[in-house]
Amino acid sequence: MFGARALFEKNPFDFERWVVSLVDGHPNAKQVADKGSDGTIRFWKNRDELGEVNISVKGGAQINPSMVRDLVGTVLRRQSEMGLLILLTPPTKGMVEEANLSGEYVHEMTGQVYPKIQLITVDQLLAGIRPKMPTPENPYFTPERFVPQATSLPGL
């Protein structure tokens, strides 16, 4: 935790990029005027379409429920499937209540139900706790689609 706080105090943008990478997200290329999103996680929502989780990172000690409401607004505006608020300090009771009011996302392929908005701390991530969401698409590797080749069998 000390190292995370030191990184935030030294360079908040490096802190945001590092935190987004902890959840297999894509950090925003633009760090200023990011319109409420510090990065995204992409996942396959069906066979042909990628879904999106908007990530908001807050490293300051002054946190409040309006941060959750802002993320809800970003998710709605961008028509994303989910939102993830990652905090350096534990969320307030009001923040947890706001997140719980945000509803659920049902994954099209699996029927699995996930919270629409989730809160998690950097400490939880470093302890191995992961957000509840579909498996992220690897942000650093896009596999080529496998196309089987027709082969002839001997003697046919």
Q: What is the DSSP letter of 66?
A: H
Could you tell me if 55 and 37 are in contact, meaning their C-beta atoms sit under 8 angstroms apart?
Answer: yes
- Give residue 60's pLDDT: 87
Rama region for 63: left / alpha / beta (φ>0; ψ in -120 to 50; rest): beta
- Give residue 31's pLDDT: 62
Sole residue written with tokens 């990652």: 86
The pair of structure tokens assigned to 62 is 């002054």
| pTM value > 0.85 | no
Query: How far are the Cα atoms of 70, 113, 119, 132, 152 from residue 106, in angstroms, in the given order?
Result: 22, 5, 18, 12, 43
| Per-block mean pLDDT, blocks of 10 residues, the chain (156 long) | 77 88 87 73 92 94 94 95 96 97 95 97 95 83 59 57
Could you tell me if 61 and 89 are in contact, meaning their C-beta atoms sit under 8 angstroms apart?
Answer: yes
- Give residue 91's pLDDT: 97
What is the CATH number that goes with domain 2-126? 3.40.1350
**CA–CA separation, 109 and 132 (whole Å):** 16
Query: How far are the Cα atoms of 8, 39, 78, 102 from residue 61, in angstroms, in the given order?
Result: 11, 21, 27, 23
Domain boundaries, the chain: 2-126
- Give residue 146's pLDDT: 56
